[in-house]
Amino acid sequence: MDTFLIDDLLRGFLREDLEHGDITTEAIFSGHETGSAVIRAREPLIAAGIEAVAARVFRLLDERLVCEQMAADGQRLSRGDCLMRISGPVWSILRGERTALNLAQRLCGITTLTNSYVEAVQGCKTAITDTRKTTPGLRLLEKYAVRCGGGRNHRHSLSDGVLIKDNHIAACGSISEAVRRARASVPHTIAIEVETDTLAQVVECLRCGVRIIMLDNMDVPMLRQAVMMIRDQALIEASGGVNLHTVRAIAETGVDIISVGALTHSAPACDIGLDWESAAPPVC
Amino acid sequence: MDTFLIDDLLRGFLREDLEHGDITTEAIFSGHETGSAVIRAREPLIAAGIEAVAARVFRLLDERLVCEQMAADGQRLSRGDCLMRISGPVWSILRGERTALNLAQRLCGITTLTNSYVEAVQGCKTAITDTRKTTPGLRLLEKYAVRCGGGRNHRHSLSDGVLIKDNHIAACGSISEAVRRARASVPHTIAIEVETDTLAQVVECLRCGVRIIMLDNMDVPMLRQAVMMIRDQALIEASGGVNLHTVRAIAETGVDIISVGALTHSAPACDIGLDWESAAPPVC
Amino acid sequence: MDTFLIDDLLRGFLREDLEHGDITTEAIFSGHETGSAVIRAREPLIAAGIEAVAARVFRLLDERLVCEQMAADGQRLSRGDCLMRISGPVWSILRGERTALNLAQRLCGITTLTNSYVEAVQGCKTAITDTRKTTPGLRLLEKYAVRCGGGRNHRHSLSDGVLIKDNHIAACGSISEAVRRARASVPHTIAIEVETDTLAQVVECLRCGVRIIMLDNMDVPMLRQAVMMIRDQALIEASGGVNLHTVRAIAETGVDIISVGALTHSAPACDIGLDWESAAPPVC
Amino acid sequence: MDTFLIDDLLRGFLREDLEHGDITTEAIFSGHETGSAVIRAREPLIAAGIEAVAARVFRLLDERLVCEQMAADGQRLSRGDCLMRISGPVWSILRGERTALNLAQRLCGITTLTNSYVEAVQGCKTAITDTRKTTPGLRLLEKYAVRCGGGRNHRHSLSDGVLIKDNHIAACGSISEAVRRARASVPHTIAIEVETDTLAQVVECLRCGVRIIMLDNMDVPMLRQAVMMIRDQALIEASGGVNLHTVRAIAETGVDIISVGALTHSAPACDIGLDWESAAPPVC
Amino acid sequence: MDTFLIDDLLRGFLREDLEHGDITTEAIFSGHETGSAVIRAREPLIAAGIEAVAARVFRLLDERLVCEQMAADGQRLSRGDCLMRISGPVWSILRGERTALNLAQRLCGITTLTNSYVEAVQGCKTAITDTRKTTPGLRLLEKYAVRCGGGRNHRHSLSDGVLIKDNHIAACGSISEAVRRARASVPHTIAIEVETDTLAQVVECLRCGVRIIMLDNMDVPMLRQAVMMIRDQALIEASGGVNLHTVRAIAETGVDIISVGALTHSAPACDIGLDWESAAPPVC
Amino acid sequence: MDTFLIDDLLRGFLREDLEHGDITTEAIFSGHETGSAVIRAREPLIAAGIEAVAARVFRLLDERLVCEQMAADGQRLSRGDCLMRISGPVWSILRGERTALNLAQRLCGITTLTNSYVEAVQGCKTAITDTRKTTPGLRLLEKYAVRCGGGRNHRHSLSDGVLIKDNHIAACGSISEAVRRARASVPHTIAIEVETDTLAQVVECLRCGVRIIMLDNMDVPMLRQAVMMIRDQALIEASGGVNLHTVRAIAETGVDIISVGALTHSAPACDIGLDWESAAPPVC
């Protein structure tokens, strides 16, 4: 992740937690003490955002801090494993701790959950993708975390993909008219996907040459039928009603893609903490 | 929530989802169609952020949109109940939908989870509070959602409260020295809280007149002992290892406050959707 | 164009020209005089950005100004035709004039030039598109101006389209490997385009199923050969060496798209001026 | 140009082209490949903005990039000459290329055109200046490019110069009243210029001691008369109807300054490209 | 003052005082109470910034607030006179009070002090001007306050005026060389002022046609000599060692301008307060 | 002070003074000259903001500048003592001078005045604190300057302290109800202070357990009575009518805290100047 894309965001997060300063730490420390600490997994997890996000937070807070990445993004860790070592002014480690951990625990949470879905469909050809149901302000980071977990990204925003939904279709009168309008207007490098609720709509998509068909909220037998109808004529995405119990059965219908909103909107935070390497930061 | 405090944030969220526009909707609609839709609970939940956040998102996107709040923040809703009606340009309803829903589903999630904790300790004198383990960028909104669920807020940032932790104590050599330094430096309108891990530390706090004592990661018997030692000499906060199964027992030890990080870092999103009031938006 | 996408930009343009105020106008006028003026074409042109951009500039400067659009975007005007009337405080009309005109003359210039290309290929099936060779900071506005002139947009940024170029191919060793990597990574809603310099590369593209092929800097006979090889197997874009003299011959080779950097990087400004409707603004 | 004045601007330009990343390059490269490339003139031109603008763009994108200026701003180059070498991560060179080139081609275009005007009046005492008809957002850079071409700058904004125009005069009833008001109000370090359309107005300017007189849209004989009337009593600026065919004759009337809007609003972009120094970037 | 020039500044001031909200008022009021209050002079003063600044602060905080200006900028008020009435939500009046008063008391302070200087030189032809010794961030507002007090503005920034000082002269070797370089480079609409410490320097200025001469830190007899030497050949500014005791004698030497840093860097705040119009805001 | 908290602010101050550049210096210097200068006290003062603010301004302007702090914040200096040495490009020293000095003279002014108050109450137990009557935009810096002078800070904003005033009390009907509401709502780490005008109100405060009582605008005898009533039951703050003549008598009543608005709203700037170390910057 490029620093010029995320630095303003991260500085804003620091300001949110620091407002006009850390009054406890500034009262107690002189500012000259140095020490080191590690960020440690307190439960099994898959790492994400260590170098690009958590370390960057510390560096933006105080450029004298040195961060050493101890786990690659996407690496599976056990309870007690270290993600990163931070050395430098104690004052700054204490002040950046919460912001860095809040980000890391969320990103690792997404990566770990994503990987559970990816493992659940192992052996199938199906890819697991995210959706636009991300935390406002964190989409760039959360979509990165999805990739760290072996997932793939769906479109990033309303600007970089066409997804024709029921309301679009209703407004045009038919799928084919909606597709015609989209083709006439969007850049040719953007493919057109259509959301369908019924097999009749799937047929209409095939008839007008749609290359990506989303099967929305269909049960497994219906998904199976749709997949048989479509075969190689289009890429098939299943969406809706997906959880860790259902995802394997959905994948086994032969769909190419399963999109899962929960990856980003409901992943529980991983338990991650900061431990000082000496018993305590040096006395001032 | 004041608009001047959150408008820039919300505009940033819209830009994240809209980048250079909604290419699907702009291809298919003329921009002149009007219609109305409701935002509806798809599962039981407690409302939060409807007027101040979700409606504001739509208004910032297009000031011609009219938003009618249909559920007060803090109100308990059943599956199918409406939270808000939006009327105006179809184009803008479609473009703002995801950003508004992403915010509302998260805030309602926090409110609903908070309320479960609050109900779990009903009858006890104990207050449930949040922590600083919030989503970066959303603290103001998430702390509001906690209040909507009957919870109370802990300090907002490192600037508006003193919490002396183990590292601070170690750096000073003793609790009393750390407290002395804090008192000598922070504004007199800010009270001093000290985190303790042992009963010996509790005793030391009482000896130097600390008025707020956090009991961190103590089990219920130890909590009970600490409460008996402290009685009315200080406000007591329990923290660590709190979940919906343990919270009642912790409250019954007599602590004044239980702080729960999960309220904000791991609340699952509520299922909320947007339904058009007519079968579909008007044909263009 | 949504106001929340462009207002900050337009306010920045106003600040660039007004810095700490218009010292001439503020010295001479009292601020209470009102009047009206029209923006007028001083040469034949096609209008663009009148309502969404020029009028918005005046409104952001002073919300008491009333702007009446007198020419639709995309409308062909003769010398002397009016684009817009502005009424309200003379002071504000004078201060916003240059910023509004600087934008309008540039956007109309792009629209008018684009339309010359579109007319030059009339009767062919070929679409004229822009490129990413836009004025830094103005891409959203300039791509809109291209559409007003009957052109189509190519990808908006490096984020919303894949274009595999020579360097990408060289780094991978082959087109097919580059295409494989791109397919494995980019969202499925984004189509993959490959730039080719030789017919051999065209063959390789077809062999690995590329659906959009750019023929870069090929002369007309070579373009014709490539088109015959590709036929319906892929969308064909011609690029390089395009000007108003060559564009028709290129189109007649049967390519689907001709991309023209000059639309945005070298369109001369249209001559547009502001005329007061009374002989002069009212005496103060 | 100071970095603190332009860095935010340049970062905004990068974000415009990169939005949420370069999906092609990020799919194909690992991020670890390094290489070098040169930016080369593909037609004769005069360099501008190489170190301060184009190199700065690359550095803001990725501080590991090393940029070596190969042509001084203001230096005349032939087809094939190099402007700059960039070495470092291939990934970052590819991602910054378009933004850097879009700026460099525009600035070189302005410098080259300005120099044509300056050469056209060589031997006369007349200076060529720009106007406020610049590209919104780029004024600081474009005025710099004018200076690189041997031109001089007119006022930068409405804040740093007084130019009394017809509307100002009409509002006051007379030139002398307008001048009186301006003198009474603007800082004494700012000189007052008055725009005139007739010789009678020139006389009025002289009568009330105006030290800078603009002769607007006058033909050559009338300019000559005005110059004879004014002689050393004021600085004389000619404006309007200036192009490369007319500029010499205008200069020979003896005016001190000729201001030319086309320098910035209609300069065609110079043809500049990026060439890799090895045949291709290293294979990953 | 244009709102687009100051709104971001004023919103920043509100955020500085409100951070994440007014916890006292939000705890005690429901948000629905309405009332009205007046801002009142608690000592004699001259008003400044009432409508454009103080009222704007309240409006940006809450657009439901109605502000009625009760004293024009520049108007002399007695103790007890009202400057403005604010009506609307009590909550918002209380939250905006401090920010609005902090601005108003400072601006009125500058205006009132400026006017003392202006009165002290009454009858002389001398103008009193400010300097660049303003409060960082408030220059636009403070220079406006100077004008409200009858003062005039010196240059606004380093961009809109040339002032050649000792270091510039030393670097060039002579005043005439420094003046030559400045004339060759700055826009012709900007006049050149030279700072002098000795009569020899004054002579050199006159010899090379300098039109504005600053006499820096000269005593009254020396000022008188310099004025006699210069007469009508240049505008004369006296600077340094000016206070309310010395200003009249300096003015009587015949200088045209006296610049006074203290107007903005050391004006004491005026005593201004907010009084509720009813005995108290309505009970909630 | 953390750089990420103040850098944007300081850059804004530089832009205010530099707008589009220092036209004098840029005309006269080549940009390559180097030199060194010292910032010197021209009257006795106590230093503040030298390293964190003044040096940072120079560094943000040009990172090649080297700043050497010569006086610690809080150190008492005599006339002629040096605060800081700056070495590097002459051009940048000249351009940053005014902004750095404007800040330093204001901060030193606040520190010096604060220290006069602190010395005036020496031997008493009373602390001197600031108020929220700070310069808009500079609160963080000004509160730091107060600390450098031996003063303490009152609450930073409306967010980090509760101060119940007459209007709050009136709205609730009684002090006890206002206190009850505040306690029920604000975080437990924030203490509650109540403003009183009468001894009856003091009694009411004591009755409902208020721990911080402000005695507003009481004369010395009344203050003495109040102090006797309160004794150790609450912290006592005196406010209103405080100046250097009255502060000692107020302190001797036994109050704990005296808050003084004048520290920040009316401190005169200290006289500080920049002197070149060589007779002049090197000739170019």
Number of domains in chain F: 2
Mean per-residue pLDDT for E241-261?
97
Instruction: Judge if C132 and C243 occupy the same domain.
Output: yes
Under the banding of pLDDT at 50, 70 and 90, the label for residue E101 is very high
Indicate if the alpha-carbon torsion angle B220, B224, B225, B226 is positive or negative: positive
Cβ distance C4 to B20 less than 8 Å, yes or no, reads no
The per-residue pLDDT for E280 is 53
* Distance of alpha carbon F163 from alpha carbon F179, whole angstroms: 10
Q: Are residues F152 and F101 in the same domain?
A: no
Mean pLDDT of B190-202: 97
Are the C-beta atoms of residues E100 and E106 closer than 8 Å to each other?
Answer: no
Rounded Cα distance between B95 and B21, Å, is 8
Report the amino acid identity of residue D241. Answer: G
- Residues of F classed as catalytic: 98, 133, 165, 195, 216
Any CB–CB contact under 8 A between E4 and chain C?
Answer: yes
The type of residue at A74 is: G
The reply to whether E5 touches chain C by the CB within 8 Å rule is yes
Tokens for A147? 């990739």
F4 touches chain B (CB under 8 A): no
Query: What CA–CA distance (Å, rounded) separates A262 from A255?
Result: 19
| DSSP strand pairing (D235-239 vs D212-216) | parallel
Which pLDDT value is given to residue E265? 96
Residues A102 and A191 in one domain: no
Distance (Å) from the alpha carbon of F100 to chain B's nearest alpha carbon:
27
pTM higher than 0.90: yes
CA dist., res. E90 & res. E29, Å (int): 8
Q: Looking at the structure, do residues F151 and F73 belong to the same domain, yes or no? A: no
C284 in a structural domain: no
Examine residue D284 and state whether it is found in any structural domain, yes or no.
no
Least confident span in A78-82, B246-250, C29-33, E39-43: C29-33
pLDDT at E279 over 70: no
Q: Is residue F175 part of a domain?
A: yes
Judge if E46 and E30 occupy the same domain.
Answer: yes
The verdict on residue B284 lying in a domain is no
Q: How many residues does chain D have?
A: 284
| Burial of residue D78, with CB atoms counted within 10 A of its CB: 0-12 exposed, 13-18 middle, 19 or more buried | exposed
Residues C256 and C125 in one domain: yes
Q: Is the dihedral of CA B244, B249, B250, B256 positive or negative?
A: positive
Whether E284 has a pLDDT exceeding 50, the answer reads no
Apex C96 CA angle, C90 and C101, nearest 5: 120
Mean local confidence (pLDDT), B228-245: 96
For residue A34, what is the nearest residue in chain B, using CA coordinates?
A: B171
Domain that holds residue A230: 121-265
D166-220 confidence digits (pLDDT tens): 989 988 889 999 999 999 999 999 999 999 999 999 999 999 999 999 999 999 9
Q: A95 to chain F nearest CA, in Å? A: 11
Give pLDDT, residue F167.
85
Average pLDDT over residues A159-165: 96
Helix (H, G, I), strand (E, B) or coil at E12: helix
How high does pLDDT run on average in chain C?
Answer: 95
Those residues whose C-beta lies under 8 Å from the C-beta of residue E198, and which sit 6 or more positions away, are: none
Among residues B85, B133, B139, B248, the one annotated as catalytic is B133
Confidence of residue A225 (pLDDT cuts 50, 70, 90): very high
Average pLDDT over every residue of F33-42 = 95
Say how far apart CA A53 and CA A3 lie, in whole Å.
9
Burial class (CB in 10 A: 0-12, 13-18, 19+), B283: exposed
Q: How confident is the model at residue B258 (pLDDT cuts 50, 70, 90)?
A: very high
pLDDT band, residue F77 (cuts 50/70/90): very high
pLDDT at residue D31, as a whole number: 85
* Judgement on whether residues E182 and E226 belong to the same structural domain of the protein: yes
Residue A211 pLDDT more than 80? yes
Q: What is the pLDDT of residue A284?
A: 47
Residue F282 pLDDT? 55
Question: Could you say which residues from 33 to 72 on chain F have a Cβ atom under 8 Å away from some Cβ of chain A?
Answer: none
Neighbours of C188 (CB within 10 A): 22
Q: Please tell me the distance from the alpha carbon of residue C64 to that of residue C144, in angstroms, as a whole number.
A: 27
Would E27 be classed as within a structural domain?
yes
Q: Minimum mean pLDDT among A115-119, E122-126, E163-167: which range? A: E163-167
When pLDDT is cut at 50, 70 and 90, the band that residue B244 belongs to is very high
* pLDDT of E26 strictly over 90: yes
Number of cross-chain residue pairs from D and E with Cβ atoms under 8 Å apart: 75
Q: B36-58: per-residue pLDDT in tens?
A: 999 999 999 999 999 999 999 99
ipTM of this model? 0.95
Question: Scanning every residue of chain E, which has its alpha carbon at the shortest distance from the alpha carbon of F184?
Answer: E27
Whether E103 contacts chain F with CB within 8 A: yes
Give which of A193, A205, A129, A209 is closest to A160, Cα–Cα. Answer: A193
Is D19 within the bounds of a domain? yes
Instruction: Output the pLDDT for position A281.
Output: 55
Smallest Cβ–Cβ distance between E191 and the set D153, D190, D257 belongs to D190
- What digits encode the pLDDT tens for the residues D8-65? 999 999 999 999 999 999 999 988 899 999 999 999 999 999 999 999 999 999 999 9
User: What CA–CA distance (Å, rounded) separates F79 from F43?
Assistant: 4
- The whole-number average pLDDT for the span B237-259 is 97
Q: Is B129 in the same domain as B255?
A: yes
Residues of chain F found within 8 Å of residue D159, distances taken between Cβ atoms? 19
Kindly state whether A156 is in contact with chain C, defined as any CB-CB distance less than 8 angstroms: yes
**Residue A25: in which H helix or E strand, if any?**
helix A23-28
Question: How many Å apart are CA D30 and CA D20, to the nearest integer?
Answer: 17
Determine the Cα–Cα distance for residues A5 and A63; give it in Å rounded to an integer: 18
- Asked if pLDDT for residue B279 goes beyond 70, the answer is no
Confidence of residue F284 (pLDDT cuts 50, 70, 90): very low
Q: Which residues of chain C have pLDDT under 50?
A: 284
Active site residue B195: yes
CA distance C236 to chain B (A): 22
Q: What percent of chain D has pLDDT over 90?
A: 92
Nearest-Cα residue of chain C relative to residue D93: C167
- Give me the mean pLDDT over the E134-149 stretch: 98
Q: How far is D132 from chain E (nearest CA, A)?
A: 12
D157 interfaces chain F, CB cutoff of 8 Å: yes
User: Which residues on neighbouring strands pair with residue E194, listed in sequence order?
Assistant: E164, E213
Asked if F140 lies within 8 A of A14 by C-beta distance, the reply is no
Residues from chain E contacting residue D193 (CB–CB below 8 Å)? 188-189
Where is average pLDDT lowest: B167-171, D73-77, E11-15?
Answer: B167-171
Strand-by-strand arrangement of the E212-216 sheet: E127-129, E257-259, E235-239, E212-216, E192-196, E162-164
Q: For residue range F163-214, what is the model confidence (pLDDT) as tens digits? A: 999 989 988 889 999 999 999 999 999 999 999 999 999 999 999 999 999 9
- What is each CA distance from D35 to C173, D38, D93, D275, D280, in whole angstroms? 16, 11, 9, 11, 9
DSSP string, D234-277: SEEEEESS--TTTHHHHHTTT-SEEE-THHHHSPPPP-EEEEES
Is pLDDT of F31 > 70?
yes
Q: Cα distance from F276 to chain B (closest Cα, Å)? A: 39
Whether C81 is in a domain gets the answer yes
Q: Which residue has the tokens 């997804």?
A: A163
Cβ–Cβ under 8 Å, residues D83 and D101: no
A278 close to C (CB below 8 A): no
pLDDT value of residue A2: 86
Q: Which chain A residues are closer than 8 Å to E20 by Cβ?
A: 19
Q: pLDDT tens-digit profile of F134-167?
A: 999 999 999 999 999 999 999 999 999 999 999 8
Q: Which CATH number fits the domain that encloses residue F215?
A: 3.20.20.70
Q: Which residues of D touch A5 (CB under 8 A)?
A: 15, 18, 20-21
Q: Which residues contact F232 (CB under 8 A, 6 or more apart)?
A: none
Instruction: Identify whether B165 is a catalytic site residue.
Output: yes
A139 and A71 assigned to the same domain:
no
- Distance from C-alpha of D131 to C-alpha of D109, rounded to nearest angstrom: 16
Any catalytic annotation for residue E195?
Answer: yes
Element (H, E) at F43: none
- The closest alpha carbon to F269, from E262, E139, E140, E242, belongs to E262
Q: Are residues A77 and A169 in the same domain?
A: no
Answer yes or no: is pLDDT of D151 > 90. Answer: yes
Q: Is residue E284 part of a domain?
A: no
The residues of A that are catalytic are: 98, 133, 165, 195, 216
Q: What would the mean pLDDT of E261-280 be, rounded to a whole number?
A: 90
For residue D97, the domain's CATH number is 3.90.1170.20
Query: Is the confidence at residue D282, as pLDDT, over 60?
Result: no
Verify that E236 and E142 share a domain, yes or no: yes
User: What pLDDT, on the 0 to 100 scale, is given for residue F50?
Assistant: 96
For residue D255, count CB atoms less than 10 angstroms from its CB and return exposed for 0-12, middle for 13-18, buried for 19 or more. buried
Share of chain F above pLDDT 90, in %: 92
Q: How far apart are CA A268 and CA A263, in angstroms?
A: 10
> What angle, rounded to 10 degrees, do the helices at D175-185 and D199-207 form?
40
Averaged pLDDT of chain F: 95
Establish if E20 touches chain B: CB-CB under 8 angstroms. Answer: yes
Same domain, E241 and E127: yes
Which residues contact residue C5 at a Cβ distance below 8 angstroms, ignoring those fewer than 6 apart? B15, B18, B20, B21, C140
Question: Element (H or E) spanning E221, and its range?
Answer: helix E220-230
Give the closest residue to C234 by CA, choosing from C157, C179, C173, C174: C179
Cα–Cα distance, F162 to C193 (Å, whole number): 62
What is d(CA F178, CA F175) in angstroms, rounded to the nearest whole number?
5
Which one-letter DSSP state was computed for residue B261?
A: T
- Report the percent of chain B where pLDDT is more than 70: 98
Share in percent of chain E as helix, strand, coil (round to 5): 45, 20, 35
Q: State the nearest Cα–Cα gap between D71 and chain F, in angstroms.
A: 18
Residue F108: per-residue pLDDT: 98
First to last CA, chain F: 37
Confidence of residue F278 (pLDDT cuts 50, 70, 90): confident
Q: In the beta sheet, which residues pair with residue F46?
A: F76
